[in-house]
Amino acid sequence: MRLRKENILIVDDDLHILELLQRHLHSWNYHTYRAVSVKEAVAILKDTHVDLLITDLKMPQIDGFELIKFVTEHYPDLPKLVVTGFPSVQDSLKAIKSGVVEYLTKPFTKGELQAAVAKALPKSVKEVVKNDTAKPQEHGEIIGASEKIEEVLQIIDRVKDNKATIFINGESGTGKELVARAIHYEGKFSKAPFIPVNCGGIPENLLEAELFGYTKGAFTGADKDRKGAFQAAQGGTIFLDEIGNASLAVQARLLRVLQEKEVVRVGAQKPEKIDVRVIAATNNNLREMIKKQTFREDLYYRLSVVEIPLPALRERMSDIPLLVDKFLFKYGVEYKDRFIRIDPEALEILKRYTWPGNIRELENIIQRAVIMCDKAVGVKDLPDHLKYNLEMPENKLVSLAEMERDYIKKVLRSTGNNKTKAAEILQITRKTLRHKLDN
């Protein structure tokens, strides 16, 4: 078992390499920090405990050798792993003399990286694992190590290489399109098109033409023949988002497409054969819609050959730090041109919130916080509804006095124990605040 989760700092000016390394490291359940320059890396090292440094050598302004030299002088016990795309005997010898314990040349395999990381990490924090199958996986932009998300990733692995119809069900903001894209781009059909269609964002009278195409003169404005999304996705995947918003007429035509493996353009008579994997998604309860006769039961069963229930963020709260890291890096680079970290107090607030808007809401809040913050995202940079949100533990009933005391303590923590500010927020005097704290 792992004694604790290791912190690994990755330094590379190539964002694609950073994404690749972080994806692999997260899949082995390491915690990562990323920097696109030596300057950012040094700032992270000063504020964060790091167990392993992974760095490129060729970087603009200050190169990786300078970072290795700095680490050797100031953090002599920190192991260093070099990953470079410009290998040379001279650089290899120089790196080894500088205290580098492992040296990888791009391109490298996932297995080579895993072996190098395991060898470079201090024995005190190494993980003893009998096999790799129980470790969390990761696909594309899907981030997470929780049991719930691991179940989703396991289903993706099983369905990615076949064309069975797939139905993704989850609340708004949970990442249904990310799952659909992972299924397509991780599988053997990835070189074929992936065509997303938002069935809720297209007017009903245009949805049929968008899905199935039309012939010249089929309706006003149809000045030429046009392929639909199904024809455009030939050999690949069509993703039908918000399928619950499709009209009964469109549902009937979709059912025929799934049954016959062919489409008929609007205004045409002759069908066209198609070879397309269909992935549908909705945040609606289709079973309830079937009872109300607003969704066809036969279409539901055609769509849900494989069903993927996508968990809400409140069901996978342990993934919040990983998601926060991803968004901090994304918007830190975009808005501040550097890595932005988050204070532990602010992260705790994010971990206590129930996230009705799911991952989309979390991303929006981190985006705003990065814009508003100075050096790091603190409690002051979070919206008030997060800072002063008091969650009641499930199945636990407490007295009004206990609830009030917990809320007062929460407000005090959010103000950095500033009693004057806390009293203003609570709309009581400092004397009353002191009295309530003493009782």
The pLDDT tens digits for 374-409 are 889 999 999 888 876 655 454 455 666 777 777 788
| 183-187-193-197 Cα dihedral, nearest 10 degrees | -10
Let me know whether 10 and 60 are in one domain.
Answer: yes
Q: Poorest-confidence range of 34-48, 155-169, 347-361, 386-400? A: 386-400
Classify 99 in phi/psi space as left (phi over 0), alpha (psi -120 to 50) or beta.
left
Q: What's the average model confidence in pLDDT over 264-290?
A: 91
pLDDT at 360: 94
pLDDT at 370: 94
Note whether residue 140 is domain-resident.
no
More confident residue, 421 or 277: 277
pLDDT at 377: 93
- Count how many Cα atoms sit within 13 Å of the Cα of residue 195 in the half-sphere of its side chain: 21
Note whether residue 357 is domain-resident.
no
- What is this structure's pTM? 0.62
Q: How far apart are CA 382 and CA 40, in angstroms?
A: 24
Label residue 427 by pLDDT band (50, 70, 90): confident
Closest by CA to 242, choosing from 230, 251, 252, 255, is 251
Percentage of the chain modeled with pLDDT above 70? 87
Label residue 89 by pLDDT band (50, 70, 90): very low
Q: Which domain holds residue 163?
A: 147-309
Q: 250 and 197 in contact (C-beta within 8 Å)?
A: no
Note whether residue 355 is domain-resident.
no
Let me know whether 156 and 82 are in one domain.
Answer: no
Q: Does residue 135 surpass a pLDDT of 60?
A: no
Note whether residue 381 is domain-resident.
no
Closest by CA to 196, choosing from 179, 180, 216, is 180
Closest by CA to 30, choosing from 55, 53, 52, 8, is 8
pLDDT (tens digit, 9 = 90+) per residue, 315-346? 999 899 889 988 887 888 788 777 788 998 89
Q: Which of 114, 135, 156 is the last residue of a domain?
A: 135
Note whether residue 281 is domain-resident.
yes
